[in-house]
Amino acid sequence: MSKVTDIFKSPVGRKLLTGITGLALTLFVIGHLMGNLTLFLGADAFNQYASFLHELGWLIYLVEAGLIIFFGFHIYMGISIWLRKRTARPVKYEKYASRGGKSKQTFSSQTMIITGLVLLVFTVVHVNTFKFGAGWAGEPEYTTVVDGQEMRDLNKLVFEVFQNEFYVIGYVGVMILLGFHLRHGIWSAFQSLGTINNKLSLMIYTAGSILAILIALGFLVLPIWVYFTGGAQ
Amino acid sequence: MTIHLKVWRQDDAQSKGKLVDYTVDDVNPDMSFLEMFDWLNEKLILNGENPIEFDHDCREGICGSCNMIIDGMAHGPEKATAACQLHMRHYKDGDTIVVEPWRAKAFPAIKDLVVDRSALDRIISAGGYVSVNTGSAVEANTHMIPKDESDLSFDYATCIGCGACVAACPNSSASLFTGAKIAQLAHLPQGDPERGKRAVNMVDQMHKEGFGDCSNFGECEAVCPVEISISAIAEMRREYIKGQF
Amino acid sequence: MSTVSEKILDSKIPDGKLEEKWSNHKNTVKLLSPANKRKHTILVVGSGLAGASAAASLAELGYNVKCFCIQDSPRRAHSIAAQGGINAAKNYPNDGDNVWRLFHDTVKGGDYRAREANVYRLAEVSNNIIDQCVAQGVPFARDYGGLLDNRSFGGAQVSRTFYARGQTGQQLLLGAYQALMRQVDAGKVEMLSRQEMLDLVLVNGKARGIITRNLVTGSLERHAGHSVLLCTGGYGNAYYLSTNAKNSNATAAWRCYKRGALFANPCFTQIHPTCIPVSGDYQSKLTLMSESLRNDGRVWVPIKQGDKRHPSEIPDDERDYFLERKYPSFGNLVPRDVASRNAKAVCDEGRGVGRTGLAVYLDFREAIKRFGEDGIREKYGNLFSMYEKITGENPYEVPMRIFPAVHYTMGGLWVDYNLMSNVPGLHVLGEANFSDHGANRLGASALMQGLADGYFVIPYTLGEYLVNTELEDVDISHEAFAEAESSSFQGIQRLLNINGSKTPIEYHRELGLIMWDHVGMARTKEGLTTAMGKISALREDYWENVKVPGENATYNKYLEYACRIGDFLELGELMARDALNREESCGGHFREEHQTEENEALRNDDDFSYVAAWEYKGKGLPAELHKEELTFENVELTQRSYK
Ligand SMILES: Cc1cc2nc3c(=O)[nH]c(=O)nc-3n(C[C@H](O)[C@H](O)[C@H](O)COP(=O)(O)OP(=O)(O)OC[C@H]3O[C@@H](n4cnc5c(N)ncnc54)[C@H](O)[C@@H]3O)c2cc1C
Ligand code: HEM
Ligand code: HEM
Ligand code: SF4
Ligand code: F3S
Ligand code: FES
């Protein structure tokens, strides 16, 4: 392999990229989840956490730029692998079935492209709702003061958004799909990076599945909790 | 017993194929799946019809010739069993079985259930060997190889080159086949200097042949008649990465 | 009945002491310069152990090689199915083995019907084979110290068999196949898969080309070269049911025979004692259960005739462990031919077991008691599960049923020491030649021979032929090609035009039955004469009444079969003729007229210590017999005894 661009063509290179970006996104999501869980500690804690992030300055821009690039590559690779699969078998089977046993063909693995695309749409909407939502431009009604410091009242926005049952249902749904994406994804990424051997395989598959469920659960209790408790605030 | 078959018939690569219904009476439970086809073919010939073409040779699960998708599964429903070793005692009187050829762009159709799998040979010729000329070998016990390593290498070496992994893979990837050969040689000191080059060349050839990428579906391992583990694919990736440096 | 010619067959055995013949020969052969090698094209027919190893080695030397095989990939040649192992005189276990002993055992095992010089060379290069295969990455079994492991096989008194679980043939073939594919990549070998050789092309009496049928398109193709290497395997499928793969055939060898090559010892066939018995008339082939099972299994049948009780209900004193009874010192480990004949004998007495009465038990009850089920599983697990897959019975609980089956053919085209047939330029390697196994092949020595021929013999001897022979320029427009092509074409058209009422397979099955009944484990003058008559009648019927489906210009498996069966129907008769001629019992050839009082084979060294090489004399004429006398200067001829 001579050129860097060849990595996009090589079957191993493509999976390496998917795997690295997938794992990085997973790390982001875990971090994001931890941050979001500060909501349970109260409005101030959450707002403080958010403003702390913003004060990182160039660092946060770097992370954001990274995120965009990682998302970009991840999506590009995911779609391109899927497109190649379609040309690799021009005539479909009349009858196709999984043998079961050690096969990892599950609802999760078979729907990666769908759950992925839903996540894509979700992320756009989501970032628009929160990051660029009310308070982005420094509107005073979405500003709060904690410990003498003025900052954006993201907590208020979150609580407002999740008063809407459509948002709540939508989020819960997407979080479940995220869980599915990761149930195959986490294990798969380790396999793509060539880190798995016979003995580790089952262990990582199980650990990945558990982590995926935890991530999905962690995210989806938030909107539900807010919906049922937030009105009373 | 009586078995109903729906078999893919296709005259040649150009023509369109379709499933055709057949009924085979007096199937004996001790018959192998292929013997049932022989039986049916005898009748077709006597009726003046063209027999169903399918590849086979050893009929004991070692040559890798036989290739049938049986009820949607490569080599049929039995674990670790090539189509030629599948026996009719696993079916019930009156069952209907759908039989199709391996399907992949890299496996062009030839006739009925027969396809062209030479792409797999080309992957091997791209680097699946140790470069040692006849006569230039050192004494066999020069290299000591730990039994565990040697056994592991053997597990990968048992691939029969049937292509079921490709046929069953939702992506039509040949990663298990390619990985098995790369992993076999990666566990041996022989051919060590060409390890990296081997992995890169074989993987590149696999891509050129038009196989899909591997999404880690693991279906290949489930259908593989010799149960090659998908850790071969992980090894292939490791070797490929090492081969870059 | 058959004419015997006075023509002496020159085996071209080099002078000198046995131990020095091969090295002397190698030292004195003239060499072809690399530039010259490039100008030579070698046609290698077959990609089994013999073909793949020869094609790869010759390409490495610089020859242009074209390699042909029937299967869709060279890796699927029948050699892939060999299970047990490969012999070599490495003496790693330090149990007293050496080249001489391996040579001696092989000559004796072949019942003194092989050439001493050839066998010695085989034993000599056996060690190089192991080195070569290990260097290629063949994963032979190893011990915990990381060194190569050996086992004793086929009743040998030393442990000299290298093995790769129960898949030695597969691993060796893949090694050779990979070496071959490396040369394909280097552009030195052109691999032509799905091509079947139908004829040999002779120009000025020398082998200069072949005609093949492209098995996908049906078109006939001409290939010209400077020498032809026939590596097309054995002809065990003449019996229809055998352990050979379905595509194994005699066609290439038979067509060469018809072009003048001599066919040697066609009646020497090996019947392997431990195969899974026939279960019904739909049966398409037989499966071997490795011989190693006899190390722990005990062979028996009920003492009473027609005893249909379940084996577990038959108490020990009503069982006849007939091998242990008759051969107290070797017991269940007697050589293949002896074990097979005795199994047949007890079944003929009506004491066979199973639905068909054509099987004996191979019982692991005691071994399981001694080593536990896990111990047995570790040793034979894959064989046991293969047995269970095929029969649906669990051999850990019920004894295995086994019966002898045709397995290997020692006979083949006659070759001299240089592996060249009497047709200049036509070399024959591997199971297709007759050379090294005499009247009976020992376990683990066919793999050794195929690889010896391909890796270590032909690279030297081919060069000598090319240096010493005037070879004019010949291309495929030569009229000899046109003649051969049209004769192949007519053969095919004739088959397709008959459009009779019986399928090719029906004929093959009938031929198989005749062969098995009369040219099988026990042969008689009467039976052989009957067989010849029956085969010739069947052949005539075949050419009038066979129904071959489809057309030529497409993939057509039954047309392939039909061509091959046509040849088996001729070869079968020659096998019977040869068996009739050989008025003695030796190795796999047992004539009931010639046995000791204890029913053991009785050799006749005075009259039959020769290779019977048959020459084709034309359609409808009896073949002519040529003899190559065998002389034994280094081993003493003894009667084998396993009592
Ligand atoms: C079940 C089984 C187990 C065995 N186990 C052992 C063992 O443990 N140890 C041992 O030493 N031996 C064993 N043998 C014997 C040994 O495997 C064979 O004798 C040996 O492999 C023959 O090798 P070969 O290269 O001569 O021929 P093959 O491997 O038979 O190859 C023949 C080649 O010729 C090609 N061919 C044939 N006809 C044509 C044609 N007309 N045109 C073009 N190509 C053609 C075929 O496609 C194939 O490539 C076993 C045999 C069997 C059946
Ligand atoms: C935003 C849109 C997304 C799309 C379109 C998408 C699509 C895909 C697809 C199609 C695959 C399978 C690749 C293959 O077939 O080999 C995949 C794998 C993966 N995805 Fe996503 N995904 C998205 C977002 C995410 C997110 C947000 C995460 C993490 C939280 C993630 C984590 C992973 C992981 C870990 C893998 C496994 C990588 C591998 O198999 O090597 N993805 N993604
Ligand atoms: C209940 C679940 C979630 C809640 C409450 C939530 C909340 C938020 C909030 C409040 C922000 C704005 C942060 C800021 O501007 O500083 C944000 C940003 C973001 N969220 Fe979420 N989020 C949730 C789930 C997710 C999921 C599942 C993903 C990934 C697929 C995700 C991806 C993002 C991204 C990419 C940003 C922009 C980050 C940036 O640019 O700095 N979020 N989220
Ligand atoms: S890896 Fe398994 S399924 Fe794939 S070709 Fe090899 S034996 Fe067949
Ligand atoms: S089924 Fe296909 S996707 Fe990969 S793990 Fe096996 S090659
Ligand atoms: S026919 Fe050889 S593996 Fe099935």
pLDDT tens-digit profile of C274-312?
999 999 999 999 999 988 899 899 999 999 999 999 999
Of the listed ranges A99-113, A217-231, B14-28, C474-488, the least confidently predicted one is A217-231
Nearest to C351 by CA among C310, C391, C313, C308: C308
For A30-78, what is each residue's pLDDT tens digit? Answer: 999 999 999 999 999 999 999 999 888 899 999 999 999 999 999 999 9
Residue A130 CA to residue A159 CA, distance in Å, equals 11
Residue A229 CA to residue B228 CA, distance in Å, equals 53
Please give the order of strands across the beta sheet that includes C195-203.
C195-203, C206-214, C220-224
Q: Is residue A161 a contact partner of residue A129, using CB atoms and an 8 Å limit?
A: yes
| Interval C23-43 mean pLDDT | 93
For CA atoms A57, A59, A65, A70, the dihedral sign is negative
Supply the residue whose CA is at minimum distance from atom 2 of ligand 4.
B224
Name which of A88, A192, A195 is nearest B104 (Cβ-Cβ): A88
Q: Is residue C263 a contact partner of residue C411, using CB atoms and an 8 Å limit?
A: yes
Tokens of B136: 């230039």
Grouping H, G, I as helix, E, B as strand and the rest as coil, residue C357 is coil
pLDDT of residue A233: 46
For B139-159, what is each residue's pLDDT tens digit? Answer: 999 999 999 999 999 999 999
| Interval C414-427 mean pLDDT | 97
C and A make contact (3+ CB pairs below 8 Å): no
From C76, C213, C255, C336, the catalytic residue: C336
Query: Could you give the ipTM of this predicted complex?
Result: 0.96
At residue A232 the predicted structure's pLDDT band, cuts being 50, 70 and 90, is very low
pLDDT of residue C8: 65
What percent of chain C lies above the pLDDT cut of 70? Answer: 99
pLDDT of residue C7: 59
**Got the DSSP string for A26-78?**
HHHHHHHHHHHHGGGG-HHHHHHHHHHHHHTTHHHHHHHHHHHHHHHHHHHHH
Of the listed ranges B3-7, B22-26, C32-36, C335-339, the least confidently predicted one is C335-339
Torsion, Cα C200 C205 C206 C210, to 10 degrees, reads: -20
Stretch (H or E) spanning A187: helix A165-192
pLDDT of residue C2: 43
Q: How far is C572 from chain B (nearest CA, A)?
A: 22
HSE, side-chain direction, 13 A CA sphere, residue A227:
15
Residue of A nearest to B211 (CA): A88
For CA atoms C84, C89, C93, C97, the dihedral sign is positive
The 8-class DSSP code of residue B111 comes to: E
Average pLDDT over chain A reads: 93
Q: Is A113 on the interface with B (CB under 8 A)?
A: no
For A178-203, what is each residue's pLDDT tens digit? Answer: 999 999 999 999 999 999 988 889 99
Which residues pair with residue C275 across a beta bridge? C288, C403
Cβ of C130 within 8 Å of Cβ of B124? The answer is no
Residue C1 has pLDDT above 50, yes or no: no
CA–centroid distance for C365 within its chain? 33
Ligand 2: lining residues by beta carbon, under 6 Å: A 15, 18-19, 22-23, 25-26, 29, 71, 74-75, 78, 81-82, 112-113, 116-117, 119-120, 123, 181, 185-186, 188-189, 192; B 215-216
Residue A39 CA to residue A159 CA, distance in Å, equals 10
HSE, side-chain direction, 13 A CA sphere, residue C139:
27
Q: Is there an atom of ligand 4 within 6 Å of B164 CB?
A: yes
Q: How far is CA C451 from CA C134, C298, C448, in A?
A: 13, 34, 5
Residue A2 has pLDDT above 90, yes or no: no
pLDDT of residue C642: 75
Between strands C86-87 and B96-100, the pairing is unpaired
Residue C453 CA to residue C419 CA, distance in Å, equals 8
Residue C640 has pLDDT above 60, yes or no: yes
Q: Is there an atom of ligand 1 within 6 Å of C43 CB?
A: no
- Using the structure block, give the residue that is written with the tokens 């946060």: A60
For A128-164, what is each residue's pLDDT tens digit? Answer: 999 999 989 889 999 999 998 999 999 999 999 999 9
Nearest to B113 by CA among B37, B219, B45: B37
- B contacts of C125 (beta carbons < 8 Å): none
pLDDT of residue C5: 52
Where b means 16+ CB within 10 Å and e means fewer, A130-164 reads beebbbeeeeeebebeeeeeebbbbbbbbbebbee
Torsion, Cα C162 C166 C169 C173, to 10 degrees, reads: -100
pLDDT of residue C166: 86
Residue C443 CA to residue A152 CA, distance in Å, equals 85
- B contacts of A107 (beta carbons < 8 Å): none
At residue C377 the predicted structure's pLDDT band, cuts being 50, 70 and 90, is confident
Tokens of A128: 């628009």
pLDDT of residue C389: 92
Which residues pair with residue C207 across a beta bridge? C202
pLDDT of residue C597: 87
pTM of the complete model: 0.96
Where b means 16+ CB within 10 Å and e means fewer, C221-242 reads bbbbbbbbbbbbbbbbbbbbbb
Q: Is A101 on the interface with B (CB under 8 A)?
A: yes
For C568-581, what is each residue's pLDDT tens digit? Answer: 999 999 999 999 99
Average pLDDT over chain C reads: 95
Residue C182 CA to residue C174 CA, distance in Å, equals 12
| Interval B32-39 mean pLDDT | 97
Residue A221 has pLDDT above 60, yes or no: yes
For CA atoms C256, C257, C262, C265, the dihedral sign is positive
Torsion, Cα C347 C353 C356 C358, to 10 degrees, reads: -30
Q: Is residue A12 a contact partner of residue B240, using CB atoms and an 8 Å limit?
A: yes
